[in-house]
């Protein structure tokens, strides 16, 4: 994209019917580090690459728990993402307060999309510079949505956003038909494989990625480092092959340390400055 006279503010149309500021906001998402999501009939897995700016700093938090049944992974301006996560949490809390039941994911993403749209039609605002992969469960099953800065949202079987996300998308395009019926373990492994594609040869370790799961009977939570590393080791030892669909040898509890069985709450290793 190049600078032109129609891109100064968001309330100016170009002659071709484009809003350049909104498109520039979508560029910000493409520049952020990768985040991916995949869903099966019963589970949704979100994963993100967490690169720290330097060895001295901690990494950015890119996956947020919104409620027991919803989580979100972001790419782009993480500050905007944090603010939107806070909004989503607040909406979920208010809904359960009023209706004593969980906010359906489809309702939340519409509210989020409407909120984003407002910023595309006010001269004193700017669009949010963050893309959100919202994964959650409700009465109608498991869902994965992508919310853009433009105010659009789409439902996906699997999606990737951020830098080098095309590599992950290519991997997932090959395999997505297996996702609906995939077991929880295979879904997580596919997420890790897809994430690895975005690293372009760099070694995938649990210190540079975050993985989170939500499923039927399983509240949204971020997997701890040990569990993730154990899964990575398992498939790297098994070779470069992506996991087959049969679940027999895939039982993670057989390989991993006792820590792997502990699907505890949020990541304990996160430094305080991440909030």
Partner 1 sequence: MTKEHANWSPYDNNGGTCVAIAGADYCVVAADTRMSSGYNILTRDYSKITQLADKCAMASSGFQADVRALQKHLEARHLIYQHQHNKQMSTPAMAQLLSNTLYYKRFFPYYAFNVLGGLDGEGKGCVFTYDAVGSYERVGYSSQGSGSTLIMPFLDNQLKSPSPLLLPAKDAVTPLSESEALDLVKTCFASATERDIYTGDKLEIVVLNAKGTRREYMELRKD
CB of 97 to partner 1, least distance (A): 5
Sheet strands side by side (includes 35-39): 158-161, 35-39, 43-49, 209-215, 218-222
Do residues 128 and 149 touch, judged by C-beta distance below 8 A? yes
Tokens at 147, concatenated: 């919310």
CB 66 within 8 A of CB 92: yes
* Complex with partner 1: residue 98 or 123, whichever CB lies closer: 98
Spell out, one character per residue from 47 to 66, where the chain touches partner 1: x when CB under 8 A holds, - when not: ------------------x-
270 binds partner 1 (CB under 8 A): yes
If binding means CB under 8 A, how many residues of this protein chain bind partner 1? 11
DSSP 203-249: PP-TTSEEEEEEETTEEEEEPPHHHHHHHHHHHHHT-SPPPPS--GG
Cβ atoms of 172 and 242 closer than 8 Å: no
SS3 179: coil
How does DSSP classify residue 125? -
Q: Are 127 and 21 in contact (CB under 8 A)?
A: yes
Name the minimum Å distance from CB 210 to partner 1.
14
Q: Smallest gap, in angstroms, from Cβ of residue 222 to partner 1?
A: 10
How far apart, in whole angstroms, are the C-alpha atoms of residue 109 and residue 155? 10
Nearer to partner 1, 140 or 268 (CB): 268
Q: Does the footprint of partner 1 cover residue 208 (CB under 8 A)?
A: no
Tell me the closest approach of the beta carbon of residue 205 to partner 1, in angstroms.
Answer: 23
Q: Which of residues 185 and 274 has its CB atom nearest to partner 1 in the complex?
A: 274
* By CB under 8 A, residue 266 contacts partner 1: yes
Residue 148 beta carbon to partner 1: minimum distance, rounded to whole angstroms: 24
Interacting positions 93-132 with partner 1 (CB under 8 A): 93-94, 96-97
Candidate segments 49-57, 82-90, 101-109, 158-166, binder of partner 1 by CB under 8 A: 82-90
SS3 of residue 140 by DSSP: coil
Considering only the stretches 22-30, 89-97, 207-215, 228-236, report the one whose residues sit in contact with partner 1 under the rule CB under 8 A: 89-97
Interface residue list for partner 1 (CB under 8 A): 65, 86, 89-90, 93-94, 96-97, 266, 270, 275
């Amino acid at each position: 994209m190049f600078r032109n006279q129609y891109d100064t503010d968001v309330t100016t149309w170009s002659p071709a019917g484009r809003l350049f500021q909104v498109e520039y906001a979508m560029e910000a998402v493409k520049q952020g580090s990768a985040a991916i999501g995949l869903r099966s009939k019963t589970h949704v897995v979100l994963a993100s690459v967490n690169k720290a700016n330097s060895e001295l700093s901690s990494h950015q938090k890119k996956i947020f728990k919104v409620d027991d049944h919803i989580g979100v992974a972001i790419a782009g301006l993480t500050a905007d993402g944090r603010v939107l996560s806070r909004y989503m949490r607040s909406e979920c809390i208010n809904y359960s307060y009023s209706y004593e039941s969980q906010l359906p994911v489809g309702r939340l993403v519409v509210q989020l999309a409407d909120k984003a749209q407002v910023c595309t039609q006010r001269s004193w605002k700017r669009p949010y510079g963050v893309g959100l992969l919202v994964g959650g469960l409700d009465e109608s099953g498991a869902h994965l949505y992508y919310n853009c800065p433009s105010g659009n949202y789409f439902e996906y079987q699997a999606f990737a956003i951020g830098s080098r996300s095309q590599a992950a998308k290519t991997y997932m395009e090959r395999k997505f038909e297996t996702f609906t019926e995939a077991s929880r373990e295979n879904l997580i492994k596919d997420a890790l494989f897809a994430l690895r594609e975005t690293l372009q040869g760099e070694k995938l370790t649990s210190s540079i990625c975050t993985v989170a799961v939500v499923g039927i009977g399983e509240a949204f939570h971020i997997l701890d480092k040990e569990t993730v590393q154990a899964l990575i080791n398992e498939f790297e030892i098994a070779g470069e092959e992506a996991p087959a669909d049969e679940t027999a040898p895939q039982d993670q509890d057989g390989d991993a340390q006792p820590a792997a069985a502990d699907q505890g709450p949020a990541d304990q290793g996160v430094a305080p400055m991440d909030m």
